[in-house]
Structures are given as structure tokens and as C-alpha cells.
Amino acid sequence: MSAAPVDSAVRAPTPPEGLPRVLAGRRGDGPASLEEHLAHHGSLPRVGQGAKVRKAFVDMVERAGLRGRGGAGFPTAVKLRAVARGRRTPVVLANGAEGEPASRKDELLLADLPHLVLDGAVVAAEAVNASEVIVAVDRASRRVRTSVARALGERRAANVDRVPVRVVDAPSRYVAGEESALVHWVNGGDAKPTTVPPRPYQRGVHGRPTLVQNVETLANLALIARFGDEWFRSVGSPQEPGSALVTVGGAIARPGVCEVGLGTPISAVLEAAGGATEDITTFLVGGYIGSWLPASAATMGLGDDLRAVGATFGCGVLFALPATACGVVETARVARYLANETAGQCGPCVFGLAAIAGALEAVARGERTDTDRLRRWLHDVAGRGACHHPDGAVRFVASALQVFAADVERHLSGMGPCAGAHRPPVLPVPAPGARETGWR
Amino acid sequence: MSKALRVDWVGCDGHGVCAELFPEWIRLDDWGYPIIDPRPVPAELVEHARRAVVACPKLALRLADV
């Protein structure tokens, strides 16, 4: 089934074939205007009034097989249904409060293609019969704030949206983008995760059922609304349809965001980004709560494939670590960053992540360290927080101990740190002074 | 229906009373926070679990149906 626009002012163009699709309307020198957006994609079809047409739309999203692109990969149709089932009128919260330093995709989408994201948020609001759309952006990005504000102005002037849309500037913190944290902050609290249940889909913004969706998910929703589920499935694999935005970094020719079909092998993604510029021995996938993988993993697909080795695609980060860098030093640095980014609410996260970072730093310096105790901490901390921040941090460190086992041994051998430990670190970590410290 | 112990991690301050009252199921980590056996509590031990739940000074421990 393909959705035909009913009352569009601009005729829908032919559906884009292949890739890019989400990034297809990018100008490359600033945000696409409303006019440019509509000329490229056609106007947004309405879901329509009534439970029946809303259900038909959600069924189409289900057939499309769209899953969340924020990290957890939850089926979008299931979330839409759960929110629509609530007794009170829902709210849609577009999540652009990306806290992952290694990921740039959400920022790029909001900065360059704000109308695609806003279309997705509006169509989601129609699908769940929401009365309001709130777009949360990372307030550290002036580029995003300017682009979204301008886009909203254009939409108001053209009167294209059927629901009120407002933008909020969320704190720039790692866990602030976690959905319960974002909802808590929108409701006037700290941007810290809350104990769930109730989950946002049950009781979220103003106590109402709230659909929290990552901005890339919404951009895809805007395309599904236009071109249908079959079109959506024409890219990616049957199990994981659609495309994904990958932030590629490290020793590669063209670092940045690229769009690939889900399930594309790591090696092909690196090629798409211009190929390696140095010898690569390890990859980081899924961001700082993701996993290190050995170079032999290059044949694996970016997607569900990774679960076989305990990794996830997460929010679409692929970082190629050059052989000359030290994985232990890189991991210790990120582990300290993650420890500092704890919301400070749950004991195992506050004390555990700090202790783990401290042990890693000692290994990085080549000091004698009880690695058995470190492994026990990793085991003990997992699963013991209100949110999954500690679980992710622990997974990241545990994968490092596995993949960099030889480097750890070398660091502890009494010969001191390896040569790579003396080169400047390569993973992007915000400088302590540049980080936001408040929670409101 | 079986019961299992659950911690509200935001609420828990690591007083450690629970581990003292129900060591069969609860131990403390290196920082004094409870590590709970996730399995359902056997019927003959549920009374001990309940005692630990009631004694928590932060009301951060509960017995949930699983």
C-alpha cells in the first residue's frame, strides 16, 4: 500500500529510489527551506480523522517494519499503538537531545532537514491523535536551534501543521536524552532518568501518554507517510528494513554522517566513507555505551547481526580505531567521561562507574591493577540502575577488556604503557570545562 | 503467583538493612548497595523477604509479582 496525498498543494514526486533517502533533500550549505523540502518530497499526506484511518496508518508503519533509531530499536508501530491506547490525549515528544559525543546524525538532521523531522512529528501526532508536538533539541547546538526555529516560522506562516508545535532547548548531557529524563525535564524537573514504570507512553508530559521518538525515526515516518511501506522496505534487509544514518569516525578518509541500508557490512560502510587511512585493528560500534569489536568483525552487518557478539548498532556510531592508538587509554578516557555523566541518583552507577574508570586509568598508566576486581565490578554494576546508563558503560568497558586483552597485559607487564598511549587520544570526548553541569 | 525482590535504585541509599535481614537473597556490593538474587523468592523464604522490605528506611525495596 502506498499512501497517496489527498489534499496536497504540491504533487508528490516519484518516490526516491535507493540511497540516500532520508538525506536526499540535503543542500549541503544550510537548512532546506519549506519550499525546497516540499519541492523535493511533496507535501505531507494527512492521516485523517477517526480511529479507523489512524489504525490503518499504524498498520502501514507496522508493515514497513520501522524501528526506533535512537538506540533501543523498539518497533515504532508498537509504541504508536501503546500511546494511542491511553485514556488521555497524547503528546508527541521529538527527541533531538542527542547526548552521544561520537554521534552527529541527529544534529545533522535537525540542522539540514528540519522539515522532514517536523513532518514526521506532525504525522505521528495525527496517528495517535495527539494535541501537541514538542521538539527537544540539544541546546549546545546553535546551528540546530536556529534551523528549527526558522523551520517552525516557515510552517506557521504557511499554515501547514494541524497540531501546535513548539521547540524546547534541552540540557546538553549524556543521559538527558533518555526518554524518562527528557519527559521529567519537560515537566519542570531535572533532566535525569526516573524510576519506570510508569513509562512515558503510559504517563509522560503533563501526565499524558507521550510518544518519545528519535528525530531520525520521525524523518523515516515522514517518508513512509508519503511513499508507503513497500517503498520503505526496498532498502535494508527483510528483517531490518530501511536505512540508517551512521556517524563514521576515526582513521577514515571522509568522517561524518552517511546513510546506508540496515545490515550493510562494516567494511562497506567504511568504503562509503572513503576507506581507511591507516591500519585498523578495532571498531567501536553503537557509541560510548556500545562495544569494541576486532577487525575481523568487518564482515558483520551494521544491525541485528551485531547481537551475535553481544553488541548493538545503538545510535549508529562506527569508529575505526587506528592500530597506532591505544585502546586502553581511549577506553579509560571514555569510561571517566561516562562516570562523570552519571545522573548521580543510583549508588551502583555513581560509585561503580567511578571505580571502574579509576581502575582503567591505572591500567592505562601501566600501574599494577587488580583486573579480577575490575571484572567483578563490571558484573556487579550491570542492571542496577533506574536507566541503562550503567549497563551501557559496563558493556563498553567489558568489550574493551576482551578486544584489548593483549594491550591490557602489556600495560600491566611492568614495561609501562604501550607506544600508542603517548599519542593524542582519538575518540571525541568533550573537555571537562566545556560540559554542561546543570540539570535544568 | 511467585514473588521477586526489586530495588528502586533512585530511592536506595545503601543502608544495608536488607542484606542483614535476608542474607540468603541479598548481599552488598563494594559500596554497600544491595545485590539481589533476581530469581523468585521460594515460598518458605517470602516471610524473610517481607521483613527486609518493611525494614528498608528508604522504602526502596519491594516484593513484586512475577
| A28-66 pLDDT tens trace | 899 999 999 999 999 999 999 999 999 999 999 999 999
Q: Count Cβ atoms below 10 Å from residue A370 Cβ, excluding itself.
A: 11
- Tell me, what CATH number does B32's domain have? 3.30.70.20
Euclidean distance between CA atoms A211 and A63, whole angstroms: 19
pLDDT the model gives residue A2? 45
Pairing of strands A91-96, A132-138: parallel
Inter-chain residue contact A195 with B10, CB threshold 8 Å: yes
Is A237 in the B-facing interface, judged by CB distances under 8 Å?
no
- Residue A3's pLDDT band, with cuts at 50, 70 and 90, is very low
Nearest chain A residue to B15 by CA: give it. Answer: A347
Is the pLDDT score of A7 beyond 60?
Answer: no
Inter-chain residue contact B9 with A385, CB threshold 8 Å: yes
Is the pLDDT score of A4 beyond 60?
Answer: no
Sign of the Cα torsion A89, A94, A97, A99 reads: positive
Region A409-434: mean pLDDT is 89
Q: How far is A354 from chain B (nearest CA, A)?
A: 11
Structural domain total, chain B: 1
Which residue in the set A345, A380, A381 is minimally distant from B10, CB to CB?
A345
For an interface test with B, the pick among A178, A180, A195 (most B C-beta atoms closer than 10 Å) comes out as A195
Domains of chain A and CATH, by start: 34-39+46-232 (3.40.50.11540), 243-322 (3.10.20.600), 327-428 (1.20.1440.230)
Stretch 2-61 of chain B: residues touching chain A, C-beta under 8 Å: 7-14, 29-33, 35
Inter-chain residue contact B12 with A347, CB threshold 8 Å: yes
Decide: A10 and A43 in contact? Cβ < 8 Å. yes
| A307-326 pLDDT tens trace | 999 999 989 999 999 999 99
User: What is the domain range of residue B13?
Assistant: 3-65
- Residue A418's pLDDT band, with cuts at 50, 70 and 90, is confident
Is the pLDDT score of A332 beyond 80?
Answer: yes
Task: Give the A:B interface size as CB pairs under 8 Å.
Answer: 42
Q: What does pTM read for this prediction? A: 0.94
Q: How far is B47 from chain A (nearest CA, A)?
A: 24
User: DSSP string covering A216-275, please?
Assistant: HHHHHHHHHHHHHHHHHTTSB-SSSBSEEEEEEEESBSS-EEEEEETT-BHHHHHHHTT-
pLDDT the model gives residue A5? 44
Nearest chain B residue to A193 by CA: give it. Answer: B10
Q: How far is A20 from chain B (nearest CA, A)?
A: 43
Residue B4 CA: distances (Å) to CA of A23, A89, B33, B44 = 48, 34, 18, 13
pLDDT the model gives residue A421? 86
Pairing of strands A317-322, A243-250: parallel
- What are the chain B neighbours of A348 within 8 Å (beta carbons)? 9, 29, 31, 33
Long-range contact set of residues A409-413: C-beta below 8 Å, sequence gap at least 24: A411/A328, A411/A363, A411/A364, A411/A365, A411/A366, A412/A363, A412/A366, A412/A368, A412/A369, A412/A371
Region A386-399: mean pLDDT is 96
pLDDT the model gives residue A1? 43
Q: What is the 3-state secondary structure of A314-373?
A: CCCEEEEEECCCCHHHHHHHHHHHHHHCCCCCCHHHHHHHHHHHHHHHHHHHCCCCCHHH
Inter-chain residue contact B12 with A385, CB threshold 8 Å: no
- What are the chain A neighbours of B27 within 8 Å (beta carbons)? none
